[in-house]
A and B are shown apart, each in its own frame.
Chain A
């Protein structure tokens, strides 16, 4: 089969482009260390979320020195914590989120960042991040979950590490300021 020489060149350039794209992704994963959501978070019984380890007391828990776990339950149409009480976390520490749903599929997207996961009943989405900047971050549910979907949002407050009063939401409320 005769292929025009321009077309051959185009073919080669296309292949180089494709391989370069794959290379950037491999670099992003292996070099920069961009984490993927995967099966690390394990499974959970969606009808019995509140009896599962961690989710029985949703909120922020210190897991070690400079390490915190955040357990969040998503349901129609709120994040707990997040919607009624903000999720307060210290800056410059390793924050590991565990997010699950007790009803439909939801999304958990921290606006303006690449912190983003699907929240699927039966699965726990687990991902770790470090907030380098203090401030207020918005969280939106980005998967349609019912007629109140557009009201489902929440807030993360990142405070300086030395101002963080530790512990879960209940501690937050007792701490007052």
Chain B
């Protein structure tokens, strides 16, 4: 599944970051690394870009960029709880 397929309020775990060159490295450096949990907070009113919470901070990226990231959704009882736990260090 791709990060761009995750719906608002859902949490996912990063499996792989695709793409190439500067963009890929930049995504990594912003903390989107394998094993990290991301919470999709919302999509912009025009459905692009989207806002995610990763490592406890808010990051926005374009749908196009999010579609380079392969994730596995994490089932949670409710999205809010996941968002609250977002400060927990996340290691693979």
- To the question of whether A and B form a pair in one complex, the answer is no
Name A residues whose Cβ lies closer than 8 Å to a Cβ of B. Answer: none
Name B residues whose Cβ lies closer than 8 Å to a Cβ of A. Answer: none
